[in-house]
C-alpha cells in the first residue's frame, strides 16, 4: 500500500507540472498583438498599417535576430527571412516588448506571420482615405553621407512620416522643417522618440515628423541638424526631400 501511495503521489506531481506548464502548446499560445498590411519595408523594420487597431493605425515594427518570421503557403507554415517581406502583404505580429508612445507607434517583434495568399490582398485605406509613406534615415546612414537628397512620391490624399536620427545630448538638434509650399504638403505633428523609450539605453533617439498632403503638386522639405546657439556648428546633417503628390 505504501508503494502504491508513492506511485500515486509521483503521478499527481507529474500531472500538476503538465497542468502548470500546459498539457498542450496550443493552449498556452497567445493571440497576435497586431494584424495589418505592410506599407513600407526598411532596414530591419516594416511599417504596418492597421486601420482597425484602437491604439495606433500605424506601427514601425523592428525585426531582430530573435524574431521568428513565418510564411503561410498552401496551408503550411515555413520559416523565412527578412527578404520575404513585401509591400501590401498582410501580417500578424506578436510583440517582444512594450509599445513606444510615438507616431507611428514603435515596437520590436517576437514573431511575424506573413498571411497565406497575402500577395493577393489589397491593403485597405484608413477611414479618411489616407495612405502613409515612411522615410527614415539612421545614424549610420548620416555617418556615411551627412547631406542627403531624395525624392518621394505619395498619392493624394496621402501622408508622409519622416524619421531622422537625433541625439540632443551632443548639443545638436533638428531645426524647424522648411516647407516650400504648404498648400501641397503641411506638417501635422512632430515628436522626439528617446532611446530609453525604444528600450536601447545609450543609443541615439529619433525625431519624427508627420505630414499630410493638401493638393497635387511638387514641393521640397528641408531638414537641418545644428547646434542652435550663436557660433554653434550649423547644418552638420541635412536632408532635402522633394515630395511629389499625385
pLDDT attached to residue 50: 80
pLDDT attached to residue 145: 95
Residue spans per domain, the chain: 29-120, 131-245
pLDDT attached to residue 52: 65
pLDDT attached to residue 7: 43
Query: Is the pTM of the predicted complex or chain greater than 0.85?
Result: no
Q: Are 40 and 133 in contact (CB under 8 A)?
A: yes
pLDDT in tens, 123-175: 444 444 557 789 999 989 999 999 999 999 998 888 999 999 998 888 899 99
Q: Are 115 and 99 in contact (CB under 8 A)?
A: no
Q: How far apart are CA 113 and CA 71, in angstroms?
A: 6
Superfamily the domain 29-120 falls into: Nucleic acid-binding proteins (2.40.50.140)
- Tell me, yes or no, if the two domains 29-120 and 131-245 fold the same way: no
- According to CATH, the topology of domain 131-245 is Immunoglobulin-like (2.60.40)
Amino acid at each position: 500500500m505504501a508503494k502504491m501511495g508513492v506511485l500515486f503521489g509521483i503521478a499527481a506531481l507529474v500531472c500538476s507540472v503538465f497542468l502548470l506548464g500546459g498539457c498542450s502548446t496550443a493552449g498556452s499560445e497567445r493571440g497576435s498583438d497586431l494584424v495589418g498590411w505592410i506599407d513600407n519595408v526598411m532596414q530591419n523594420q516594416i511599417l504596418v498599417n492597421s486601420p482597425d487597431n484602437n491604439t495606433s493605425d500605424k506601427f514601425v515594427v523592428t525585426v531582430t535576430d530573435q524574431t521568428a518570421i513565418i510564411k503561410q503557403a498552401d496551408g503550411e507554415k515555413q520559416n523565412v527571412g527578412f527578404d520575404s517581406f513585401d509591400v501590401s502583404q498582410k501580417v500578424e505580429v506578436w510583440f517582444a516588448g512594450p509599445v513606444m508612445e510615438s507616431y507611428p507607434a514603435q515596437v520590436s517583434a517576437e514573431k511575424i506571420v506573413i498571411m497565406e495568399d497575402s500577395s493577393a490582398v489589397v491593403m485597405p485605406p484608413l477611414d479618411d482615405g489616407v495612405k502613409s509613406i515612411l522615410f527614415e534615415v539612421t545614424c549610420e546612414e548620416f555617418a556615411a553621407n551627412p547631406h542627403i537628397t531624395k525624392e518621394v512620391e505619395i498619392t493624394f490624399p496621402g501622408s508622409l512620416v519622416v524619421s531622422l536620427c537625433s541625439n540632443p545630448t551632443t548639443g545638436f538638434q533638428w531645426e524647424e522643417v522648411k516647407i516650400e509650399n504648404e498648400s501641397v504638403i503641411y506638417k501635422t505633428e512632430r515628436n522626439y522618440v528617446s532611446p530609453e523609450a525604444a528600450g536601447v539605453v545609450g543609443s541615439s533617439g529619433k525625431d519624427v515628423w508627420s505630414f499630410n498632403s493638401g493638393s497635387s503638386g511638387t514641393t521640397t522639405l528641408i531638414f537641418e541638424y545644428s547646434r542652435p546657439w550663436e557660433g554653434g556648428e550649423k547644418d552638420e546633417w541635412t536632408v532635402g526631400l522633394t515630395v511629389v503628390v499625385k
